[in-house]
Structure 1
Amino acid sequence: MADMELLDSARHAALRVSAAPDRNRHFVQLVADEFLPAALHYPILFARHPETGDLYPGALMGLVPEENLCLGANGTLAGYRAADLERQGFYVSGENIAIDPGHAALGQGEGDPIFEKDGDAAPALQRIQAALRRLHRGLPETEAFVGRLLAHKLIEPIDLSFRFDNGESLRLDALYTISLDALHAHLPDEAALALFRSGDLQLIYAQTASVRHIPFLARRRNDRLSGLAA
């Protein structure tokens, strides 16, 4: 963390945080306890970590890198804002919070203040602290959840191909979903009961239902390419 600075109310009294980088996030990592609120607004799919190859879940917000199709007219998310977006530029360092002072979310002009005038945490910092706690707790729980899905052979590739009115074709590879066919047809009853009692079954149905948002993303991109939307 050589480029990081520990957050300090005196040193960073004028620091502000902005949601502007959201516009460049097309796939945002989620932890398992975010599935229910996120599934109301975005497709939840699985991707492979570029360094480890491990599968992890995320909210699909755009169909190409640096494209977020879920922003409202004011440039912010109308729906659920994931913890990984909320904490952009902020990291856990032992018992403290560290910041990347060069991160696009941070500055002294645009955005919400981090500290109140008396040095107490402002609402923006309180949201960031909650997001960091959620990720710290949720990442190992989510890894275990994905491990159980893999053990039961419930994850499969998803075919996402699109053709837009301007003639552009687009295919998304290396994304995965949960197979309801495998769940319903091949999973032993005792395994299904264990998934139910652990709460995994609720997450599975939230994820599989969330793919209904994919056509919305396609329509938004088609409108953009046609010049009908910003």
Structure 2
Amino acid sequence: MKGTIAMAEMELLDSARHAALRVSTTPDRARHFVQLVADEFLSAALHYPILFARHPDTGDLYPGALMGLVPDENLCLGASGKLAGYRPADLERQGFYVSGENIAIDRSHPALVSQEGDAVFDQDGDPAPALRRVQVALRTLHRGLPDTEEFIARLETHQLVEPIDLSFQFDNGESLRLDALYTISLDALHALPDDVVLSLFRSGGLQLIYAQTGSVRHIPFLARRRNDRLSGLVA
């Protein structure tokens, strides 16, 4: 999962040592593409376009929620500076990592360096709601990555993934084109043999495919939001 750091830079989370630790959602503002696992598709598709990108090191496809059209831009934040809809697990776990049977933290991560945000532990040293959300997110990612990789492998086996053309023209004259993003081809899906489609249906893959392809309807919202931002109509 993107964001892994060397163990030497991490500390094991400890309720006594980190009693005053707080976790902030501020880093969400700079996340324009957030990695997802397949179990998140149905929730994320209600709010964001789900597209595929390739890992720069391996070239492997991975799915993500598109939240902005340029790096360090999140167009999905509400007036409070927080996401109004589903918050993906990879955002919930920012600064937190799995280390064997324990949770480790990167004290230098922007989510953990602020005095603002939600407490990680309550007054009794037990996990506060923020930490419980982190625990759920880490489990979601840990359990979901293998299933997601298998789902993508099936998409590629049946040649269902294709590049998506994303070009925008804004009122201030700015032109923007997003490359190296991919979607699922419904034409290719509908051309598959019946037995393959039935297999995708029984495995749950067909539901994920329609969630992903339906989610692209949110792309015009991102374009309108960026256009309003460039025009000074929104912050």
TM-score range, shorter chain: over 0.9
The equivalent residue for 1:206 is 211
Any idea what SS the aligned residue of 2:149 has? helix
Q: 1:138-149 alignment to 2 at 5 Å?
A: 138-149=144-155
1:93 aligns with 2:115: no
User: Any gaps of 5 or more consecutive residues in structure 1?
Assistant: none
- For residues 184 and 3 of structure 1, the distance between their equivalents in structure 2, rounded to whole angstroms, comes to 49
- For residues 211 and 200 of structure 1, the distance between their equivalents in structure 2, rounded to whole angstroms, comes to 18
What is the TM-score normalised by the length of structure 1? 0.99
- For residues 108 and 156 of structure 1, the distance between their equivalents in structure 2, rounded to whole angstroms, comes to 41
Q: How many residues align?
A: 229
> Could you say if the C-alpha distance between residues 108 and 20 of structure 1 is closer, same or farther in structure 2, counting changes exceeding 3 Å?
closer
- For residues 15 and 225 of structure 1, the distance between their equivalents in structure 2, rounded to whole angstroms, comes to 36
Of the three residues 43, 46, 54, the one matched with 2:49 is 43
1:134 aligns with 2:140: yes
- For residues 120 and 130 of structure 2, the distance between their equivalents in structure 1, rounded to whole angstroms, comes to 6
Q: Deviations over 1:101-147 (max 9, x none)?
A: 00000036100000011110000000000000000000111000000
Given residue 88 of structure 1, which amino acid in structure 2 is its aligned partner?
Answer: Q
The equivalent residue for 1:121 is 127
1:176 aligns with 2:182: yes
Q: Is the 8 A contact 1:21 1:104 kept in 2?
A: yes
What is the TM-score normalised by the length of structure 2? 0.97
Given residue 95 of structure 1, which amino acid in structure 2 is its aligned partner?
Answer: E
Of the three residues 110, 113, 121, the one matched with 1:107 is 113
The equivalent residue for 2:223 is 218
Of the three residues 159, 162, 166, the one matched with 1:153 is 159
Q: Is the 8 A contact 2:24 2:116 kept in 1?
A: yes
Per-residue deviation, 1:208: 0.2
Structure 1 vs Structure 2 CA RMSD: 0.6
Given residue 14 of structure 1, which amino acid in structure 2 is its aligned partner?
Answer: A
- For residues 225 and 122 of structure 2, the distance between their equivalents in structure 1, rounded to whole angstroms, comes to 39
The equivalent residue for 2:201 is 196
Q: Is the 8 A contact 1:92 1:132 kept in 2?
A: yes
Following TM superposition, the consecutive aligned residue runs of length 4 or more in structure 1 with deviations greater than 2 angstroms are: none
User: Any gaps of 5 or more consecutive residues in structure 2?
Assistant: 1-6
Per-residue deviation, 1:50: 1.2
- For residues 192 and 95 of structure 1, the distance between their equivalents in structure 2, rounded to whole angstroms, comes to 39
Any idea what SS the aligned residue of 1:2 has? helix
- For residues 109 and 12 of structure 2, the distance between their equivalents in structure 1, rounded to whole angstroms, comes to 14
> Could you say if the C-alpha distance between residues 87 and 41 of structure 1 is closer, same or farther in structure 2, counting changes exceeding 3 Å?
same
Of the three residues 27, 30, 33, the one matched with 1:24 is 30
Given residue 10 of structure 1, which amino acid in structure 2 is its aligned partner?
Answer: A
Q: Is the 8 A contact 2:21 2:121 kept in 1?
A: yes
- For residues 148 and 84 of structure 2, the distance between their equivalents in structure 1, rounded to whole angstroms, comes to 25
- For residues 197 and 179 of structure 1, the distance between their equivalents in structure 2, rounded to whole angstroms, comes to 20
